[in-house]
Amino acid sequence: MSRLFKSLKNSTFARDLIATVAPSLATALGGPLAGIATKAIAEKVLGKSTATDTQVIDAIMGASPADLVKLKELDVTFSRDMKKAGVELERIAADDRDSARDRQVKMKDWTPSVLGLAIIIGFFGVLAYLFKFGLPASGKEVLLLMIGALGAMTQQVGNFFFGSSSGSKTKDATIAKIRSEARG
């Protein structure tokens, strides 16, 4: 496990951002390919492969839309290169989810279910609050950040209990279409 991955565990927003924009890289960061993924992210986003984990996380936290496109492009390239090399990132991710589900069944552990329910209730509770009262005069940035994090966690809860969707492929096609339209 890489130092970047350990640092990302302490930065929910950065971790969720990478998991959403670059799922193949996020999977690699948690496994034996972490060093390669960290170096690739640093090179693509910061332009230097020798960047520290802190510099990479800061860059991810302050990523512009153009940086997110770069990260997505890197994810597509990384996934393709790993496939050529015979590394099956989706199988690794699926095995990880399967082992978590298997653990829950074997131990009769209600923790994932309770946490998942709390996350979903929290997400929709915050949305209901916003629809009823609107954004507060102060602290709206924090609230919007929290909504983004809760939205990403809600997606992860869905993936855990129902599996990852084919929406990821549709998302890739949409991003490619937007990028080509932006170019001209």
Which residues have a Cβ under 8 Å from the Cβ of 160 and sit 6 or more positions away?
Answer: 97, 100, 101, 112, 116
How many domains does one find in the chain? 2
- Residues 147, 179: one domain? yes
Residue 40's identity, in one-letter code, is: A
- Residues 20, 63: one domain? yes
- Residues 29, 71: one domain? yes
- Secondary structure class of 105 (helix, strand, coil): helix
- Residue 98: inside a domain: no
pTM above 0.85, yes or no: no
What residues make up the domain containing 149?
Answer: 110-183
- Residues 58, 132: one domain? no
Q: CB burial class (10 A; 0-12, 13-18, 19+) of residue 126?
A: middle
How confident is the model over 7-65, as pLDDT tens digits? Answer: 555 566 677 777 788 888 877 777 767 777 878 888 888 888 787 777 877 887 888 88
